[in-house]
Amino acid sequence: MKNDELRVFLGGDVFGPVGMRCAASLLPSFLAAEGVDFCVMNGENASAGIGLSPEDGEALFRCGADVITGGNHSFEKRDFWPYLDSEIRALRPANFPSEGVPGRGWGIFEKSGFRFAVINLQGREDMGALDCPFRAADGILAGLPPDVIPLVDFHAESNEEKEAMGLYLDGRAAAVAGTHTHVQTADERLLPKGTAYQSDLGMTGPMRSVIGSDPKIAVKRNVTQVLYRMELPDAAGALRGLLLSLDPETRRPRSVTRIEIPEVSP
């Protein structure tokens, strides 16, 4: 702990080779400088911009991630499925159907003398049809021991759905942070009952891009409506996310700080 406070970092979607490079070059020094006690990184697009490989999962853990969360691309790479079953620190959304789905959607992890419950959920507005994330959150939170600090990664397209989730869990979760859109929002705040909230943590990946892809091709696709193959730019990137300061006695957030740390141009 730093200065009698518990510090948690929630990192935005690691995207492609630039995102992995940023995680390797920026995350360890940031965690050390800020005295971060617990780190969660969303890694569902870390490997070549879609899905996550076991090798990149291990690399993110070496960079300092304590837990890796997922999203709608969690099952893109078939060799990742057994990894989801064997590695308890790698999560996929909890509101996938319960039968026949690899992995788990939440877990309790102990570090720095505290226990953290990381809960991964996926939205339904403009996304695939899954079980209700609100009811899934209810079921998980109801069974948690009172000393556990619940942290929610809500991987969703709609900011309306994300804000609704934040308010729905206000006072029951320590933090509700959105992922998926790759665009960092400036609405970080403590909700009325004390839950830390941000609609989207942003992307750990290339800054000069369109949500991670080559901007020239993305513009051309939009202008022509021809589905040109998207490519990943080799550009300077940034580490993005949300830093939480919690009271170690009450385990409730005191403050939130939006984080964006650019790397030096390669």
Per-domain residue ranges for the chain?
6-207+239-262
Percent above pLDDT 70 for the chain: 99
pLDDT score recorded for residue 265: 61
CA 220 – CA 250 distance, rounded (Å): 52
CA 65 – CA 43 distance, rounded (Å): 10
Count the helix, strand and coil residues of the chain and give each as a percent rounded to the nearest 5.
25, 30, 45
The DSSP secondary-structure symbol of 239 reads E
Banded model confidence at residue 147, pLDDT cuts 50, 70, 90: very high
CA 92 – CA 82 distance, rounded (Å): 13
Banded model confidence at residue 22, pLDDT cuts 50, 70, 90: very high
Catalytic, 73? Answer yes
Q: 1 pLDDT exceeds 80?
A: no
pTM > 0.85: yes or no:
yes
Q: 3 pLDDT exceeds 80?
A: no
CA 92 – CA 70 distance, rounded (Å): 5
Banded model confidence at residue 240, pLDDT cuts 50, 70, 90: very high
Q: Per CATH, the architecture of 6-207+239-262 is what?
A: 4-Layer Sandwich (3.60)
**Residue 118 has which token pair?**
């990381």
Continuous H helices in the chain: 16-34, 54-63, 81-86, 133-142, 159-168, 215-224
Banded model confidence at residue 209, pLDDT cuts 50, 70, 90: confident
